[in-house]
Amino acid sequence: MADIETTTSLRRGRPGYDQRGILEIAVAAFNESGYDATSIGMLADRLGLSKSAIYHHVSSKEELLALALDEALDGLEGVLREPAATEGPAADRLAHVLRGAVDVLTARLPYVTLLLRVRGNTDIERAALARRRTFDRAVADLVVEARNEGSLRADVDPAIVTRLLFGMINSIVEWYRPDGPETPAQLADDILTIALDGLRVAP
């Protein structure tokens, strides 16, 4: 927060929040009270700012939602573009993407929490759901590829595997605490052990 305040002070000549700082508080409020129940006025109270001060940084509550969902989705989509996600045996690429998804969930926890609660009530939410489905489908394709190359057991339905993998990974938002004993890397190791070792065909 110190850095943010310094930057903002320098840029705007007064202490306060930049767009990123407002976004963080907004996402926390959306997760606690629900997006619909949160107004710009409530955010202004929470931030100790006037509503017009908020509108210096964002055009609307919808823009805050779109920025927040982008933060989660850009992270997940970024994992798919990493070299380790695009080159090599499918089983290794799958492991890399699952590990990367865990990293994004833990590093951007409030943003992914919000993404996972989106139900598609507005155009912004529907666009986010479409991007999430595309990500899920890319992982499902990797499961199929890994199965076809003989790395994963053939007797488990790839569609169910994919859903259960996401069930496990997405549950992180329910219980993971950044100040808890597990590091994100340990968590990723445990998930890969549980999720993939049981599916792997012994070499």
- Integer Cα distance of 199 and 151 in angstroms: 8
88 burial class (0-12, 13-18, 19+ CB within 10 angstroms)? exposed
Residue closer to a second copy by CB (options 49, 139) is 139
Residue 156, interface with a second copy (CB under 8 A)? Answer: yes
Residue closer to a second copy by CB (options 17, 135) is 135
Look up residue 173 and give its amino acid: V
Residue 161, interface with a second copy (CB under 8 A)? Answer: yes
**88 touches 81 (CB < 8 A):** no
Residue 129, interface with a second copy (CB under 8 A)? Answer: no
CB of 193 to a second copy, least distance (A): 5
Q: For residues 162-191, which are near a second copy according to CB under 8 A?
A: 163-172, 174-175, 182, 186-187, 189-191
Residue closer to a second copy by CB (options 78, 198) is 198
List alpha helices for 60-157, DSSP H: 61-81, 83-86, 90-107, 109-117, 123-148
Q: What are phi and psi of 152, to 5 degrees?
A: -115, 150
Q: Give me the residues that bind a second copy (CB under 8 A), please.
A: 153, 155-157, 160-161, 163-172, 174-175, 182, 186-187, 189-191, 193-200
